Amino acid sequence: MDLTIPKADLALKARARSFAETVLFPRELELELNGYLPEAAKAGLKQAVIDHGFNAINHAKEHGGQGLSIFQQTLVNEELGKATGALWAAVWHPAIPLRLGTKEQIRGYLVPSCNGQRRGAYAITESGAGSDPRLVKTRADRRNGRYYLSGEKWFVTSGDAADYLIVHAHVDGDPDKPTLFLVDKALPGVGVKRVPKFMHTYLFEHPEFTFDNVELDDSKLLGKTGQGFELTKDWFVEARLQIAANCLGASIRAAEIANAHAAQRVQFGRPIRDFQAIEFMLADMAVEIMATKSMVYRVAWEIDRGMDRKLVHARASAVKLYASEMAGRVIDKALQIFGGRGYMRENPVERLYRDIRVDRIWEGTSEIQRAIIGGQIKKRGLGPYVDWS
């Protein structure tokens, strides 16, 4: 059994680290203190993503992506996750279900999304439908060979940067027909209701969209009628792994900064790391990161080896749950090691502390992940989690 990471993958990780440190980190404070980056700075980031070859790491080369394996994507996402203000969102990952689109959709949406000419955002959540998307009220009524989309979507991440949305709606209002639609934002009837502010500073916004009888032809149906959940499930796997890798990177950065501070900060005549209270915190942080890294890398590697799809879903939930909760514990300790300085917004640890809170909420809350894992255990026993196969 050889757990060595191939040299080429380590080189890729080093490249991502350098990108994060030289392109993303220098923008952090400006973004944090102003709450936004000017359009010119965002355009510069976009160009840098292309220049460094990190656009669409999750798609095939034939579609304009980088063709990275899931393991390689994990290595890159770990490094990007170290950036605060969700600057990692500058590195776009076009939605996975697009690759199952028609040839025309691949040409019109996926390829230009991979090369940065277009950007999409995923819109499932609504005021009345969060953890339970069957409660979605957005409907696509079929009339005269067309669909007419009406409803509202909340929390549409990067919806401001997007020029099209992937909207989850019920055909004819039927919850048994959950379906995805490609909706160009410029279409008549698409509106922005509100752009709320959130706990984290985020490179883009999470607007609320309204759809008022938006006319769509058959070419805007992604997949088949009723396939909405199935297509979104694959997106969830990738998004959950990405969150886990980002959380890992965020925790490592916080731990590294806290460790350096503990070595040089002197109180009561000695570096604070010499107090066992601090040393034990650093020890717990290191071990938590080690455990999470082992888990995240393992599942990413298993997926590349063609793990059964059901196991993939089961383990992606476990990885997302564990990594996001681990990041909360580790970054909280890092902040504590800094004392008052940990509470200052100019300290990356303070920003990471706020940034990673949402990772226990989006793409399925911690409770929903536990419900998924509990359901798996009920159905299959503990095997998916305690066996190594």
Ligand X SMILES: Cc1cc2nc3c(=O)[nH]c(=O)nc-3n(C[C@H](O)[C@H](O)[C@H](O)COP(=O)(O)OP(=O)(O)OC[C@H]3O[C@@H](n4cnc5c(N)ncnc54)[C@H](O)[C@@H]3O)c2cc1C
Residues found near ligand X in the complex (CB under 6 A): 122-125, 130-131, 155-157, 198, 206, 358, 361-362, 365, 367-368, 371
C-beta closer to ligand X: residue 67 or 130: 130
C-beta closer to ligand X: residue 22 or 131: 131
Residues sharing a CB contact under 8 Å with residue 120, sequence separation 6 or more, in sequence order: 94, 95, 98, 109, 113, 162, 163, 164, 165, 166, 182
Q: Minimal distance in Å, beta carbon 130 to ligand X?
A: 2
Helices 348-355, 309-338: crossing angle, 10 deg rounding: 140
Q: Minimal distance in Å, beta carbon 141 to ligand X?
A: 21
The residue written with tokens 């076009």 in the block is 94
Per-position b or e across 284-302, b if 16+ CB within 10 A of its CB = ebeebbeebbebbbebbbb
Asked if residue 275 lies in contact with residue 367, where contact means CB atoms within 8 angstroms, the answer is: no
Maximal CA-CA distance, the chain:
81
C-beta closer to ligand X: residue 16 or 241: 241
C-beta closer to ligand X: residue 92 or 155: 155
Chain centroid, CA 201 distance in Å: 15
Per-position b or e across 58-79, b if 16+ CB within 10 A of its CB = bbeeebbbbebebbbbbbbbbb
Q: Minimal distance in Å, beta carbon 376 to ligand X?
A: 15
Residue nearest to ligand X (CB): 130
Residues sharing a CB contact under 8 Å with residue 151, sequence separation 6 or more, in sequence order: 126, 136, 137, 138, 139, 169, 210, 211
C-beta closer to ligand X: residue 161 or 361: 361
Q: Minimal distance in Å, beta carbon 97 to ligand X?
A: 13
Q: Minimal distance in Å, beta carbon 224 to ligand X?
A: 21
Q: Minimal distance in Å, beta carbon 360 to ligand X?
A: 9
Q: Minimal distance in Å, beta carbon 122 to ligand X?
A: 5
C-alpha dist (Å) from residue 109 to 4, 62, 98, 115, 164: 38, 14, 7, 10, 9
Helices H, strands E: what count in the chain?
12, 10
C-beta closer to ligand X: residue 198 or 280: 198
C-beta closer to ligand X: residue 122 or 297: 122
Separation between Cα atoms, residue 158 and residue 160, nearest integer Å: 5
Asked if residue 323 lies in contact with residue 248, where contact means CB atoms within 8 angstroms, the answer is: yes
Q: Minimal distance in Å, beta carbon 121 to ligand X?
A: 6
C-beta closer to ligand X: residue 123 or 214: 123
